[in-house]
A and B are shown apart, each in its own frame.
Chain A
Amino acid sequence: MAAETNFEVVGKNLRKVDGPGLVCGKPMFTDDIEMRGLLYGKILYSPHAHARIKKIDKTKALALPGVHAVICHEDVPRIAHTTAGQGYPEPSAYDTFVFDKKVRFVGDRVAAVAAETREAAEEAVKLIEVEYEVLPPILDERKSMDPGAPVIHDEPEAEMIIPVPYDKERNLAGGVNMNIGDVEKGLEEADFKFDYEYIVPYYHHCPQEPHICYAWLDDQDRVVIRTSTQVPFHVRRLVARALDIPVKKIHVIKPRVGGGFGCKQEVYLEQVVAALAMASRRPVKIELTRREEFISGRTMHPEIIHLRTGVKKNGDLTAVHLDILMNTGAYGSHALTVVYNSGGKTLPLYRCPNIKFDGTSVYTNLPVGGAYRGYGATEAYFAIETQMDEMAEAIGMDPVEFRKRNHIKEGETSPVFSALGEGKAGVEQFVESCGLDKCIDLGAEAIGWSRRKDLPRTGIKRRGIGMGTFMQGSSIPHVDMGAAYLKLNEDGSFNLLVGATDLGTGSDTVLAQIAAEVLGVPLTSMIVRSSDTDITPFDVGAYASSTTYLSGMAVLRAAEKTAAQIKKVAGKLLAAEPEQVTLKDSRAFVPGGKSVSLHEIAMDSLYVDNQFQIQDGASAISFKSPPPFAAHFAEVEVDTETGKVTLLKYVAACDCGTAINPALAEGQVEGGVVNGIGFALSEEMLFDSGGRTLNPSFHDYKIFTTVDLPEMRTILVPTYEPTGPCGAKSVSEININGPIPVIANAIYDAVGIRLRRSPFTPERVLEALSEKEKMKQ
């Protein structure tokens, strides 16, 4: 559906507001400041997957010249909290302490030091003497809930502060059950049934800027935290809790962020750096090394997905039963909501009368899961979209037609929307914009779907094409909130202050484009300041695909209110009614063509007559989470001798409503897709039998670079979402969901093997090929 799309600033590929500084290497990131007296912090990590700390001796470390503080559980308040940067009350267990007497994974923190040089800090950490009582670990999530399994959170404090499934005695970190219709009956009615298990491993976010945080005490002894975060306001609240200091004593500053993808929605470094700054009364920084980022940082939650489906010969789905065992690692960060989302952001996509969803999230003594772009949907789509392909094949229907026939359409709803929210029931919603059919058509054409039957499927190198369709959401309804504030300056420029957090996605630019559109000024008239807890209004932060949709709505409203004030002054100056005034080209016009500039309006309101500051603010919450949609296609070549899968071409067609800045929206699609291709073909964190990460470096954890790229095509399919600002929906997460199933389907098309464990390494391909040969004989 197209609506008012006659935009001046919105919908244009304008340069990012922070772009010129970034391409000149200006000091814009957390580490790009110089501070007199800065100390270097370093953390001591656990070498054991599960152990109790019997004794810590800090004497030698403290005696080292240049060391100003050594802190462990003896030196900080013992207050259970979560590191998940979520709104309050957090749907993640309070199961973490700044430091604890127990360690729960290799990489868990034991103590920290602050010293005058990086070398001294590294040396001091080695001098801390720790005596451990090693406990049996749980390294297999299937055994976590076995009777008699070690209890990972045996501390009395661990709890969920909202009434949701949680049982630390049984290592249960969260769970969800949903039932619509009767799945068993649906399976009986099916002409074809499918029942398989899929495995998604530990993946790592790999932001190019590792976690980094500075903290110091200001002139009023307030703790200033300068940190690379997606959630500055949650940082303030969580650090206040963890260190037992009032919110008013904390000031969080978010500079430019060097990529987050969810891992900087976690608050696990800030409390340590703040504690060191308070202990030493000196500015302190901790910058994780790449190795530390891998071993101690957050990851994507691994899932074991059991999917059962039934389909009739005519193409009707009769049953879908999604049963997920999710591994949250040592702490329950996002343990409940990610597993909820595995169903909530996938199951509404296809019409089916009988849908069951069971999700269980368990603790293990492995690294901690966190938010990761896709947030559970990525894992579940692997199962759903490959099984959709199997269904289509069984009934002899083209996979493209099969999806078109079954996907949710404009004006339709799904009972799943109201059944599943994030950690609680969701909200009923009707789809008001859906460009999926067009995505499918344009994508099919771009990949050359009609060539599919003629591809070479004999010989050593065989080709195949696969596809899949996807949805996500835009914000968490009734939970997320964003706010914005605008004021007019003498020269007709505006300060736009937003709590929304640009982590490289371009949200400062997109939000400024929305404001500029309403105020009738060029983007260059907007001065954007985002996410400083002392200066900008609140926003929950950058997650859940909420910024453009939700914070954008707050900006739109703030701009409309500010525009109303401008029109009042303009009306006075032009002897007209405010309602007659229109704003365009940095001027206010009245019918007949008379006009006055924003500069003149500002001068009048600030200096001349009945003075006041033209300024206003607004907040927005959402009442629904309109899904963006996408259709992805891939062509692969499989070498049947080596097992190597070469991705030749990848097409992503995406409906994100109005793309406020199309080039930036395309960039979100492409970034998501290439990360997803890494999931499908090369990325995987590996562990030894003691739970130690075996590949904590870019050398051994292989992310895609330019030479690995296929030919890429990105197609934006514009729709108009009536509830979104200027018709916009989200775009940042959805496209990471595609590559795993789409490439799996292409591999099947090429060589007839169904891979149900990602990534699709040559070894796994060869193994599946040889099994297929065996089956034939």
Chain B
Amino acid sequence: MEISCIVNGEKKQFKIEPDETLLNILRREGYLGVKRGCEEGNCGVCTVLMNGRPVNSCVVFGAKADGAEIITVEGLGTPENLNTLQEAFLDEGAVQCGFCTPGFLLSATALLKENPEPSREEVIEALDSNYCRCTGYVKPINAVLAAARKMRGEE
């Protein structure tokens, strides 16, 4: 079957198998920042935004994405033009291996869009479905708070 959706602002048409996951489709189509970690909906490294909400793309069927607006990490910024959140992750030392980072960035993007002034608890809540074995989470949490402050013009 064929689906059409908007990925990172671009209109796209994908030929897919009916039981294919959104994760497989996106990686096949070259969105390699979407990572595969468990394919069971647990680890969050496959997180993308679907109509503004973070979803684990490994447990979303491609057919469900028909007509949806998808944002992957490739839609956030480029190395020459990083967005505030990406910069904060680098400046706070929140990236170690970086395998989980796209998922963290997208969960945080959704949070900050809805709630520009999150408390530490709200950040913790929003990042709960993203596993990271490297950082111990302290710096990713700090990075989201730092980015929020900066986006509010406080720093």
Report which A residues bind B (CB closer than 8 A): 13, 15-16, 18-29, 31-32, 34, 205-210, 256-259, 261, 287, 289-290, 503-506, 661, 663-664, 666-667, 669-675, 697-699, 703-707, 709, 712, 714
Complexed CA–CA distance, A661 and B129 (Å)? 29
Q: Please determine whether A32 and B86 come into contact, CB atoms closer than 8 angstroms.
A: no
A19 touches B95 (CB 8 A): yes
How many angstroms from the CA of A287 to the CA of B23 in the assembled complex?
Answer: 15
List 10 A-B pairs, minimum CB-CB distance, nearest first. Answer: A25-B33, A504-B97, A663-B93, A22-B98, A258-B99, A670-B136, A25-B73, A674-B136, A698-B42, A20-B79
The 8 A CB mask of B32-50 against A (1 = contact, 0 = none) is: 1111111110110100000
B112 touches A (CB below 8 Å): no
Contact partner of B38 (CB less than 8 A), chosen from A290, A670, A671, A714, is A290
Q: Is the CB of B92 within 8 A of A663?
A: yes
Note all chain A residues with C-beta closer than 8 A to B74.
Answer: 24-25
Chain A, residue nearest B124 (CB): A706
Chain B hits for A16, CB < 8 A: 90, 93, 95
Contact B129 A504 (CB under 8 A): no
Partner of A666, one of B36, B76, B131, B139: B139
5 contacts across the A-B interface (CB closer than 8 A): A19-B95, A23-B73, A27-B33, A207-B133, A258-B99
Instruction: Please tell me if the beta carbons of A208 and B86 are within 8 angstroms of each other in the complex.
Output: no
Residues 128-143 of chain B, each 1 if its beta carbon lies under 8 Å from chain A, else 0: 1111111111110100
- B96 engages A506 (CB within 8 Å): yes
List the A side residues contacting B38 at CB < 8 Å.
289-290, 697-698
Closest residue of A by beta carbon distance from B107: A706
Q: Which of B31, B131, B138 is in CB contact (< 8 Å) with A712?
A: B138
How many angstroms between the C-alpha atoms of A698 and B42 in the bound complex? 6
Please tell me which one of the listed residues B39, B91, B102, B128 contacts residue A25 in the complex, with CB atoms under 8 A apart: B102
Residues of A within 8 A of B45 (CB): 208-209
Cβ of A531 to closest chain B Cβ, rounded Å: 14
- B99 to chain A minimum Cβ distance, whole angstroms, is 3
The dominant DSSP class at the B interface is loop
The listed residue with most A CB atoms (<10 A of its CB), out of B93, B128, B139, is B93
Shortest Cβ distance from A20 into B: residue:
B79
Task: From A15, A287, A506, A697, give the contact of B91 (CB < 8 A).
Answer: A15
Per a CB cutoff under 8 Å, which of B36, B101, B138 touches A22? B101
Chain B residues near A667 (CB, 8 Å)? 93-94, 96, 134-136, 139
Neighbouring B residues of A706 by C-beta, 8 Å = 123-125, 127-128, 130, 137, 141
B131-A664 in contact (CB<8A):
no
Given the complex of chains A and B, what is the CA–CA distance between A663 and B143 in angstroms? 12
**B77 interface residue (CB < 8 Å to A):** yes
Docked CA distance A438–B20 (Å): 56
- Which one of B34, B72, B93, B98 lies within 8 Å of A504 (CB-CB)? B98
Instruction: Tell me the minimal C-beta distance from B112 to chain A in angstroms.
Output: 15
Contact B128 A707 (CB under 8 A): yes
> Is the CB of B82 closer than 8 A to any CB of chain A?
yes
User: Given contacts A23-B105, A290-B39, A667-B96, are A703 and B91 in contact (CB under 8 A)?
Assistant: no
Q: Which of A18, A31, A503, A712 is B136 in contact with, Cβ under 8 Å?
A: A712
Q: Are A290 and B90 in contact (CB under 8 A)?
A: no
Interface pair B133/A703, CB less than 8 Å apart: yes
Task: Name the distance in Å between A730's Cβ and chain B's nearest Cβ.
Answer: 16
Structural contact, A670 and B135, CB atoms closer than 8 A: yes
Q: Which residue of A lies closest to B125 (CB)?
A: A707
Given the known inter-chain contacts A24-B77, A697-B42, please indicate yes or no for A258 contacting B35, CB distance below 8 A.
Answer: yes
CB contact under 8 A between A258 and B138, given known A23-B82, A707-B128: no
Residue of B nearest to A701 (CB): B42
Q: How far is the CB of B143 from chain A (nearest CB, A)?
A: 10
Chain A residues, CB < 8 A from B91: 13, 15
Chain A, Cβ-Cβ closest to B24: A118
In angstroms, how far is the closest chain B Cβ from the Cβ of A526? 16
Q: Is the CB of B124 within 8 A of A24?
A: no
Q: Assess the B42–A699 pair: CB atoms within 8 A.
A: yes
Shortest Cβ distance from A38 into chain B, in angstroms?
12
In addition to A206-B133, A259-B134, A289-B38, 6 A-B residue pairs with Cβ atoms within 8 Å of each other are A26-B32, A208-B131, A287-B36, A663-B93, A706-B125, A709-B138
Q: Is the CB of A208 within 8 A of B42?
A: no
**Residue pair B32, A27 in contact (C-beta under 8 Å):** yes
Please tell me if the beta carbons of A671 and B42 are within 8 angstroms of each other in the complex: no
Chain B hits for A26, CB < 8 A: 32-33, 79
In the assembled complex, the Cα of A705 lies from the Cα of B104 at a distance in Å of 12
| Alpha-carbon distance A461/B70, docked complex (angstroms) | 46
> A20–B34 Cα gap in the complex (Å)?
16
In the complex, A635→B63 CA distance in Å? Answer: 49
Is A671 within 8 A of B95, CB to CB? no
Q: Given that A22-B101, A705-B129, A709-B124 are contacting pairs, would A504 and B134 also be in contact in the complex, using a CB cutoff of 8 Å? A: yes
